[in-house]
A = this chain, B = another copy of it.
């Protein structure tokens, strides 16, 4: 403009985003629901990273956790039960410029969405998947989810869930091209913040399982873990989640773990007591499917028309 260099341009008033810029409808989760703290953390990360709200899309399936987009003031897509990931990948495919956050539940992601979960890990497109794992179907009122503990009584299994629960971490780690696997808890906000921020910064698909309290239907699932920090094992490493020493000090059980070691990550993932929290696995170099889907995005129209005519020529008689 006026022949000025772009960074001299007068047109671009600096925008600074505050928390309000990310605050959508009032969150209608139950009091004490772990969703509230995740929401606050994501809003803070957006603010701290100064993500333009219009360039940010919050995508979800259906479930309590999937109400997330409504509580953000960014663009949002509250989709279908189990189908957040195909939508999110589709968005990213031709809009790599958008920041995509995906919220899913343990039923949404590991049950009805299981096929998409496995494949989205493999696609490794740049986005953060937050699985709100409350080990129960919340929105539909207390049915068994794949992570419900064996024996827990639910409305569909009044005599107790018949099978051992699935371990989402080991499945995720088993998928080739996996690039970022972390676990955190809703009730340790600094850890939650650090984990999701690191996930956001990872250029690829970040799988973050958040152990989430549901006082309404699975009150007891994480009670012990919350009360007794020694039931959690903090994973530490220079390549891992970075925390203040003050925060770190609160964890009696700590474990040095190099997140580039997949075999060790698998061993850790199998430990259920104490539960590992932190970054289990990280591979910044895994190929991303975006490199394939974005091809040709910038192609000028005349080139397209020429190519189209070539294609027609091929069939000309």
* A interface residues, Cβ below 8 angstroms from B: 111-116, 118-119, 122-124, 146, 162-167, 170-177, 262-263, 266-267, 270, 287, 289, 291-292
Contact = CB atoms under 8 A, between A and B. Distances in A.
B167 A174 contact: yes
Contact of A163 (B116, B164, B287): B287
A17 B61 CA distance: 52
A174 B170 contact: yes
A113 B113 CA distance: 11
A113 B116 CA distance: 10
A172 B171 CA distance: 8
15 contacts: A111-B119, A114-B114, A114-B118, A115-B118, A118-B166, A122-B163, A122-B164, A162-B289, A162-B292, A164-B287, A167-B174, A170-B175, A263-B263, A263-B267, A266-B266
A122 B162 contact: no
A105 to B, nearest CB: 15
A77 to B, nearest CB: 21
A122 B166 contact: yes
A225 to B, nearest CB: 19
A120 to B, nearest CB: 11
Nearest to A291: B162
Contacts of A166: 118, 122, 175-176
Nearest to A267: B263
A111 B123 CA distance: 13
A186 to B, nearest CB: 23
Contacts of A177: 163-164
A264 B51 CA distance: 44
Given A119-B146, A167-B176, A263-B266, 5 more contacts: A163-B289, A165-B176, A166-B175, A170-B174, A171-B171
A262 B123 CA distance: 27
Nearest to A166: B176
Contacts of A176: 164-167, 170
Contacts of A266: 174, 263, 266
A190 B142 CA distance: 50
A116 B111 CA distance: 9
Contacts of A262: 270
A175 B164 contact: no
A118 B171 contact: yes
Contacts of A123: 163
A252 B171 CA distance: 32
Nearest to A157: B292
A146 B172 CA distance: 16
